[in-house]
Structure 1
Amino acid sequence: MLTCTNGMPSDQQVLQFQMKAKINSSKDESIQRRSANYKPNIWKYDYIESLTSEYTADTYKHAEKLKEEVRFTFVETVEPLAKLELVDSIGKLGLATLFEEEIKDALDMIMCLKDNNLTIEEDLYATALRFRLLRQYGYNVSQDIFIRFVDETGNFMQSTTTNVKAMLELFEASYLALEGEKIMDKARMFSTENIKTVISNSDVSLAKQLSTALELPLHWRLEWYNVTRNIHEYGKVGNINSNLLKVAKLHFNMVQATHQKDLKEIIRWWRNLGMARNLSFSRDRIIESYLFAVGVNFEPQYKHFRNWLAKVCKFIITIDDVYDVYGSLQELELFTKAVDRWDSEEIQQLPECMKICFQALYDTTNEIAFEIQRVKGGKSVLPHLRKAVTIVS
């Protein structure tokens, strides 16, 4: 800092400052900056910000009427297997949060039925579907319900392989197994082998369904990014409740409109931040960060969560590039020290782009902490966010 008694720096201080600046500049020029040759951003921000949606309040009113008709379907559906298939369809169409009470009542009923009163216990497809849905929704169901399909050697009976639908459902159910459940481990191997055997002899539609399952089981997939495919598949089947399909299409479009609106806000935040311009070596992946947040939780009411998570993901990407691509060892030690101490004074010797990165990280973390406290109430979460940032850095 340049100081003197009359408020003006002395010639000696000016000279020292200029020499220090020159040294810092020459140091920066001598550092060999790396390049990861990242592909440029493929998204057109101006186009995304221009998107509009026709799904308005009137659409919501129409959807509410259809939802009431779907709720009545739960009352009309009496057979246990039909109830399970209804719950399964609602989940695959991304509507589970709209019918939480109805799903709970249906599964409570299924859970309470005794084996001798539950005819679906004799059917492998129905048993596997029951097991998967109960586990998926948090019910305590034992792997022992599959014992009747196992021979004296502990292996699944070959007589069950004739039903491809059952094999597929057994395969999906096996991915909800708990550690040490040997029956479910065998169910996975058994179903996988049999599905691979029948793929070549199946029609195009079924073969594609089986191949998709083997590629990535249902339990491992992101729910929202399966919805459009499921809507299309159910539409081709023709025997699904028409009101349920209409609700699914309306709900998808309304949620998509919400996502588009939220994404515009994220893009404006990112552009105003100026990091894409000042950290050209880093990946510009704000859209991908938001899509990741949508995959974690897509429902409209979780807007704040998606907003926060998208920002966190983007900073993880940027900081990763600062460490792996741009910074020297000495610079990264100073940057890490600044993050640990949460003090911008520690970054004064760093290149301008790293100063901008730290300041943006500092400001955004404080902003998120304030928003969480405003939305959720309670004590400030800033200490926890700072600890998380330190771990990431």
Structure 2
Amino acid sequence: MALQCHAWNPPFVSMRPTRSVILRAPCNVRSNRQIRCVANASIQSQAEDNNKPSVVYKPTIWDYNFVESLRSGCVDETFRSRAKELTEDVRVMLNKEVEPLAQFKLIHVLQRLGLGHLFHKEIDRSLQAIYNDSNTDKWIKDDLYATALHFRLLRQHGYLLSQDVFSGFLDEKGKFQESLCDDTMGMLSLYEASYLGAEGESILNEARDFTKRHLEDIKDYRDSNLETQVKHSLEVPLHWRMLRAETRWFIDAYQGQEDLNPIILELAKLDFNMVQAVHQRDLGFASRWWKNLGLTTKLNFARDRLVESFLFSIGVTYEPQYERCRNWLTKVMNFVLIIDDIYDVHGSLEELELFTYAVERWEMVAMKELPDYMKISFLALFNTTNEMAYDILKEQGRDILPYLKKTWADFIKAMLVEAKWYQTRKTPSTEEYLKNGWVSSSGTIFLFHAFFATGQEINEEVLECLGSNPDLIFGPAMICRLSNDLATSSAELERGDVSSSIHCYMYEHKVSEQVARQYIRDRIMEIWKLMNKSITNSPFSSQFVQFCLNLARTSLCVYQYGDGLGAENSKSKNHVLSLIVKPITIGAL
């Protein structure tokens, strides 16, 4: 039985002319006057600021009426019933007694098709059984593909598997055997596994360099589908990819495979559309909140990026049951963008110090000295955050407000440091910049809110660990900073902004932008190794561990082709259309 679910075409999308971000050099007029001429800002700074550039962002291309019009046609009882039937069929497959390699292949396909959330119990049980199987060496000893798949899946689920499982593929010099290059599928599997490596794992470092070099050298492929997968992985490895975007890509790729399972493929399409319907509903709630808040009409200098903010929240957690988490993270991202634009674009140094003090105090009386545009920003943040804390206090009797207040205060103090660097034209050392920059990236704000939003039981041990900023918190926040810098540094260099790790490294070491960019990419690799080690040794729930990894993945995705939040470019628009707007057509298989 095949259900027909056709792509929904909206009646109208308000696509305003796509002009680039307008950059104006500092001039001897008030910054609010520069902005008023272009953006018609209704609330303006009262301070003289002759040293700040005017950055005018284009308006959003996704208007309120468009978001409200989103309605999926793939959520009626017929589709739910069919999905339930197919889910049970796949569950039977997972519970069937098969050889470990066949089980790993099935788990691999289900996860890449975005179906892992439906079968997490069965997958966990299968991996535990295989991990405890003393006969594992018998079926992976001479099979590079099987060994690498076995290693990657167990590692990403928190099992501490030694890199020594690959020692049998090394020659007497400790290098990978050149004969392995004939096994393209095995090489691809080893390449993907190498990105689960931790600090100091030399075999996995060698595996990554070896496979990357040889996969890039392949000229002729017998299988076009394999060629597509290799090129896709060489662009960004699987472990680093935003899950929801990867699911959408792999559904198309899986359809071209000779060994596809039509039951699994149909379920993947149905589930994608049904989850997308949940996302459309969640986005509608967020859109109404954003409109009622009214900040876009009062702060015309700031970015209006509700839909992209919601897409970011999907990157951190797409699973239907985490509706509140997406809701909170969407709100957080909108406030982060507003505050970022206040500190980078609009506020005078005196105003920024007043705003920083107000957030640190977290009291209504602290608003008294603020200019109007900051009063409305502070009060919106204050009320929204307090409401979040109230929800958890009501549910669990836990007061999380001190944690939320502190993470906002830390973020804003870090933003003030960067503003002072800019005002004084100071270029800090790279390490000084990064010590502040991982906090100003806002990554900790997202993860703290994500932790509390899930409603999981909160205990003192976990709270203590959360507050100490372990690698699972620090790592994604730093990758947020570095990926942002890679995307925006060229524009920042043009306008003389010192707040970029690339600029700092160029200035400190007297090197080219290209050299500095490579240094930052190498730092991203090292940070992933820290996070990989934490996967297997974490006091947090497996779901929160995934939130942390997903934040890093989403940051890389958002900034892969430029500033996906500052400028709504074609890649950003395509992600919104493919992940939120357009369902997958389900036809005859």
Aligned to 1:258: 278
Aligned to 2:309: 289
Aligned to 1:237: 257
Counterpart of 2:385 (choices 365, 385, 388) is 365
Q: 1:323 to 1:373 in 2, by over 3 A?
A: same
Instruction: Give 1:77 shift.
Output: 5.4
Which runs of structure 2 are paired with 1:1-393 in the superposition (5 Å)? Answer: 28=46, 30=48, 34-54=53-73, 55-76=75-96, 78-115=98-135, 118-198=138-218, 200-202=219-221, 204-374=224-394, 376-393=395-412
Instruction: Give 1:112 shift.
Output: 2.8
Divergent runs of 4+, >6 A: none
Aligned to 1:5: none
Counterpart contact for 2:282–2:323, Cα < 8 Å: yes
Instruction: Give 1:50 shift.
Output: 1.2
Of stretches 347-356 and 165-174 in structure 1, the one that deviates more from structure 2 is 347-356
C-alpha distance in 2, partners of 1:378/1:153?
60
User: One-letter code of the match for 2:406?
Assistant: K
Deviations 1:32-88 (A, max 9, x none): 685212222121221111111221344222211111111111244512211110010
User: One-letter code of the match for 2:76?
Assistant: T
Instruction: Give 1:387 shift.
Output: 0.8
Give the helix-richer structure, 1 or 2. Answer: 1
User: One-letter code of the match for 1:213?
Assistant: S
Deviations 1:296-318 (A, max 9, x none): 11001000011111111111111
C-alpha distance in 2, partners of 1:27/1:139?
54
C-alpha distance in 2, partners of 1:42/1:154?
54
Instruction: Give 1:211 shift.
Output: 1.9
C-alpha distance in 2, partners of 1:38/1:160?
51
Instruction: Give 1:151 shift.
Output: 0.9
Counterpart contact for 1:171–1:187, Cα < 8 Å: yes
Q: 1:77 to 1:301 in 2, by over 3 A?
A: same
Look up the SS of the partner of 2:322 in the other structure.
helix
C-alpha distance in 2, partners of 1:230/1:282?
36
Structure 1: where are the runs of 5+ without partners? 1-24
C-alpha distance in 1, partners of 2:57/2:45?
26
Deviations 1:236-262 (A, max 9, x none): 214222211111111110100000000
User: One-letter code of the match for 2:58?
Assistant: K
Count matched residues.
367
C-alpha distance in 2, partners of 1:28/1:113?
70
User: One-letter code of the match for 1:388?
Assistant: T
Counterpart contact for 1:35–1:281, Cα < 8 Å: no
User: One-letter code of the match for 1:224?
Assistant: R
Deviations 1:173-203 (A, max 9, x none): 00001211111111111111110111x3236
C-alpha distance in 2, partners of 1:27/1:218?
46
Of stretches 252-261 and 322-331 in structure 1, the one that deviates more from structure 2 is 322-331
Look up the SS of the partner of 1:36 in the other structure.
strand
User: One-letter code of the match for 1:244?
Assistant: I
Look up the SS of the partner of 1:301 in the other structure.
coil
User: One-letter code of the match for 1:382?
Assistant: L
Instruction: Give 1:326 shift.
Output: 1.0
Deviations 1:73-123 (A, max 9, x none): 124451221111001001101111211222123223322333576323211
Counterpart contact for 1:168–1:191, Cα < 8 Å: yes
Deviations 1:317-375 (A, max 9, x none): 1101111111111111111111111123233333221111111111111111112334x
Normalised to the residue count of structure 1, the TM-score between the two structures is 0.88
C-alpha distance in 1, partners of 2:47/2:330?
34
C-alpha distance in 2, partners of 1:103/1:161?
31
C-alpha distance in 2, partners of 1:114/1:26?
69
Normalised to the residue count of structure 2, the TM-score between the two structures is 0.60
Structure 2: where are the runs of 5+ without partners? 1-42, 413-589
Q: 1:127 to 1:331 in 2, by over 3 A?
A: same
Look up the SS of the partner of 2:259 in the other structure.
coil
Counterpart contact for 1:316–1:392, Cα < 8 Å: no
User: One-letter code of the match for 2:89?
Assistant: E
C-alpha distance in 2, partners of 1:26/1:204?
57
Counterpart contact for 1:344–1:358, Cα < 8 Å: no
Q: 1:186 to 1:34 in 2, by over 3 A?
A: closer
C-alpha distance in 1, partners of 2:56/2:224?
40
User: One-letter code of the match for 1:28?
Assistant: Q
Look up the SS of the partner of 1:236 in the other structure.
coil
RMSD of aligned C-alpha atoms? Answer: 2.0
Instruction: Give 1:30 shift.
Output: 5.0
C-alpha distance in 2, partners of 1:80/1:213?
25
Higher RCO (Cα < 8 Å, 6 or more apart): 2
Counterpart contact for 2:312–2:330, Cα < 8 Å: yes
User: One-letter code of the match for 2:381?
Assistant: L
Instruction: Give 1:269 shift.
Output: 0.6
